[in-house]
Amino acid sequence: MKLVPKFLVPGRQAGAKKRLVKSPKVYIRDTGIVHRLLNIPNYDALLGNPGVGGSWEGYVIEQIYQRRPPDVDLFFYRTQAGAECDLVLVKGITPLACIEIKLSNAPVISKRFFSCVEDLEPRYKYVITPQSDAFTTGQGVVVTSLYQFLKELLPGLS
């Protein structure tokens, strides 16, 4: 039996002012294995599968994990009240960035994300999409493609 490569993204706990969900999220690091386990034979079938958003989220987190500066840790943030952020990049105990991961190139940013931003007060706020052109919303959230985030924005975080 082969082991499936996976990693845990722990819940953010340090300095929290609210009741948090502390159980970690589990991601399978190889999206090919995920697609095989879900019996997804090709790209067209993936786009029609309800797991496509989770697959995209896992892929983005894996790419950020591999390219992050060594002193930056990854967490997710979710409160009992429902505020949620897909990924929080932290240096020491300081939240650097809150990241929402969206499969749509025209994302709608939820109130739950802004609740997380209000709680954590990160330096940066991002929404990562597959291919959107980079722009900043009126609330100071940078919407960017994964490629641009990895190439231009992630190296300047720490």
* pLDDT per residue as tens digits for the range 13-71: 545 555 666 667 777 888 888 899 889 999 999 999 998 998 999 999 999 999 999 99
Kindly indicate the confidence band of residue 142, based on its pLDDT and cuts at 50, 70 and 90: very high
Residue 132 in this model has a pLDDT that exceeds 60: yes
Predicted local distance difference test score (pLDDT) of residue 78: 84
Residue 158 in this model has a pLDDT that exceeds 80: no
User: In DSSP terms, which residues pair with 144 in a beta bridge?
Assistant: 128
Domain boundaries, the chain: 6-156
* pLDDT per residue as tens digits for the range 75-117: 888 888 878 899 999 999 899 999 999 999 889 999 999 999 9
How much is the pTM?
0.83
Taking the C-alpha atoms of residue 136 and residue 140, their distance in angstroms, rounded to an integer, is 6
